[in-house]
Amino acid sequence: MHRRSRGVNIGLLLLLSQIFQVGINNVPPVTLATLALNIWFFLNPLKPLLSSCLSVEKCYQQKDWQRLLLSPIHHADDWHLYFNMASMLWKGIHLERRLGSRWFAYIIVTFSLLTGVVYLFLEFALAEFLNEPDFKRNCAIGFSGVLFALKVLNNHCCPGGFVNVLGFPVSNRFACWVELLAIHFISPGTSFAGHLAGILVGLMYTHGPLKKIMESCTGIFPSNIDYPGQQYYFNSSGYSGYQDYYPYGGRGAYEDVPRNYDMYTAGLSEEEQLERALRASLLDQAHGLSMPLSPVLHYFLEFV
C-alpha cells in the first residue's frame, strides 16, 4: 500500500471531469452519493491509511472492527480513487437504473461489509493453510472489492456478451476471473484476496443464497424498480448524456407512434453507448493533459 502523495491530484481532477462530462443530474442518486462519499473521505480521511486498512491482525485479533466500514471508502492515492470511481460511475448508472435506487443502496452496503468479511476469511485461511502468518498482516484498502462484486452482478444481468481484456474478447461468464488475473499481472501490488472476495460475494448474490437472505431481511426494498424519467443516449460526436422520456408518452398520455432513435444511438445498446462515451472521454482527458497513457490506463480503457 502506497502513501498518498502531496501536490496536484491529477486522478481526482480526471474523475471530476468525468462526472461532469456525464452530467451530475444524469447520475442516479445512490451512485452519485457513493462517488461523493469516496471523494470526501479521500480529501478528508477519518484516519490515516494504516489505521483504516483491513487485515486479520488488526480487525480480528485486535478487535478493530470499524475497519470493515473504513476500508472501502478510503483510497491510497488519487489514481487509486480515479480507477475505482470511474468504474463505479459506469456500473452504478447501469445497475441502479436496472435495480432501483433503494435496492441498489442496500446492495452497496451489503457488498461493502460482506466483501471485507470474506477477505478476512481468505487471508486467515491462507495463513493457517500455508502456515504463513504474514497473510494475517496483509492490509487492504479501497472500493475495488465491491466493484468486482458489482461486475459479477452486472455480467449476470447481461448474459451472453463479451468484453475486451487486454485486447482479447472474453465471455461475460469468465470476464471477472480473467480480469482478476490481468490486473495482478499488470499491477502485482494490488490485493488479490480483496478482489477475489468481491467475486465470491457477487457469486453468492447471483448464484447463491445471498439475494434471498437480503430479501428476507427486509420487505420494503423491491429489487425491480427502474430509475425513472431518463433514458441514456449517445450521438456520433462522442458526447454522452440523458434525455427525459415518459414510457407512455408525454406526462400521462399514451404515445403509440414508434420513434426511431438510431440517429441518437447509432444502433448501439445502452451499455455499449455508455462504455463508448466513457472511453472517449477518458482518452480526451488524457490527451488534453499531454501525458502518455500508462499501461494500467490502457488496460482500464479496454474493459471499464
| Catalytic residue numbers, as ranges | 144, 195
Q: Which three cell numbers stand for residue 169?
A: 474478447
Burial category of 124 from C-beta neighbours within 10 Å (exposed 0-12, middle 13-18, buried 19 and up): middle
- Answer for the pair 82, 14: CB distance below 8 angstroms, yes or no: yes
How far apart are the C-alpha atoms of 125 and 56, rounded to whole Å? 10
How far apart are the C-alpha atoms of 172 and 256, rounded to whole Å? 35
- Answer for the pair 196, 122: CB distance below 8 angstroms, yes or no: yes
Q: Provide the phi-psi class of 252: left if phi over 0, else alpha when psi is between -120 and 50, else beta.
A: left
- Answer for the pair 85, 98: CB distance below 8 angstroms, yes or no: no
Residue type, 238: G
**The Cα angle at residue 10 between residues 91 and 177, in degrees rounded to 5:** 35
How far apart are the C-alpha atoms of 206 and 189, rounded to whole Å? 29
SS3 of 244-272: the string is ECCCCCCCCCCCCCCCCCHHHHCCCCHHH
